[in-house]
């Protein structure tokens, strides 16, 4: 089985890559800093030449049986204090890039019959994320994109899934968490990767804690958003 993973050089993406490789899959990675098996590409790039080069690489290495869109960045702090360029970068990497890549895969026949597309969104799809507004917006957009593709893709034999992990013990989480935050309680990325890869349902929330948070987010969204504000926003400088 051929696997394609964006953001596969670090964090959850790297956990996907190692888990798939251990299962005997042929793993290909797209990352701004890829492994030896990967292709160097910024998912937020606005350079047409960079995307043209990616098209050629996809044609040479595809078609794929499993595509995991895991690349993502964030910007934390007071919304008005974060440069507009940072907000733009977040939406470019987390939403615009995946839309562009999926369009390339679909129109270029780079997906095998019976292929699986996994979109990695966030627990933010179930609750507000004060202090990470553009991140939450980009992940909500990605979730909406996945939901909208689900039916049409199914008719063409492609399965679409939406993964919404909570906080994980990754470099990404450490980079954007409030200063002095503990990794205790964060889900190990290899456990999240295994749970997502083994799941058959459309929406996947790895871990008991995130599942509870998602349930409470649906049940009492205002309370959960205030709680997230205390956990994240109030601790940011």
* Domain ranges across the chain: 2-235
Residue 144, class by beta-carbon neighbours within 10 Å (0-12 exposed, 13-18 middle, 19+ buried)? middle
Mean pLDDT of 209-214: 86
Residue 182 clears pLDDT 60, i.e. is over it? no
Contact 59, 39 (CB under 8 A): no
Query: For a pLDDT cut of 90, what percent of the chain falls above it?
Result: 68
Between 119 and 156, the more confident residue is 119
- The predicted pLDDT at position 174 comes to 63
- The predicted pLDDT at position 221 comes to 73
Architecture per CATH, domain 2-235, reads as 3-Layer(aba) Sandwich (3.40)
Question: What single DSSP character describes residue 200?
Answer: -
Residue 176 clears pLDDT 70, i.e. is over it? no
Q: pLDDT for 90-108, tens place per residue? A: 999 999 999 999 999 999 9
- Burial code (b: 16+ CB inside 10 Å, e: under 16) for 40-68 equals ebbbbbeeeeeeeebeebbeeebbbbbbb
- The predicted pLDDT at position 19 comes to 97
């Amino acid at each position: 089985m051929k696997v394609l993973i964006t953001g596969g050089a670090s964090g959850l993406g790297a956990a996907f890559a190692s888990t798939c490789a251990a299962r005997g899959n042929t793993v290909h990675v797209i990352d701004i800093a890829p492994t030896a098996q990967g292709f160097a590409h910024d998912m937020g790039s606005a350079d047409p030449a960079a995307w043209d080069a990616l098209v050629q690489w996809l044609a040479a290495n595809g078609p794929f049986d499993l595509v995991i869109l895991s690349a993502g960045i964030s910007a934390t702090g007071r919304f008005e204090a974060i440069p507009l360029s940072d907000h733009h970068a977040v939406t470019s990497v987390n939403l615009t890039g995946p839309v562009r890549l999926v369009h390339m895969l679909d129109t270029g026949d780079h997906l095998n019959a019976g292929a699986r597309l996994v979109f990695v969104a966030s627990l933010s799809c179930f609750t507000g994320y004060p202090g990470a507004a553009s991140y939450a917006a980009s992940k909500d957009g990605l979730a909406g994109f996945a939901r909208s593709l689900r039916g049409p893709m199914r008719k063409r034999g492609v399965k679409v899934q939406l993964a919404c992990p909570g906080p994980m013990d990754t470099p990404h989480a450490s980079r954007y968490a409030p200063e002095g935050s503990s990794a205790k309680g964060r889900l190990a990325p290899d456990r999240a990767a295994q749970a997502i890869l083994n799941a058959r349902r459309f929406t996947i929330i790895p871990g008991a804690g995130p599942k509870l948070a998602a349930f409470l987010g649906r049940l009492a969204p205002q309370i959960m958003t205030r709680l997230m504000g205390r956990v994240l926003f109030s601790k940011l400088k």
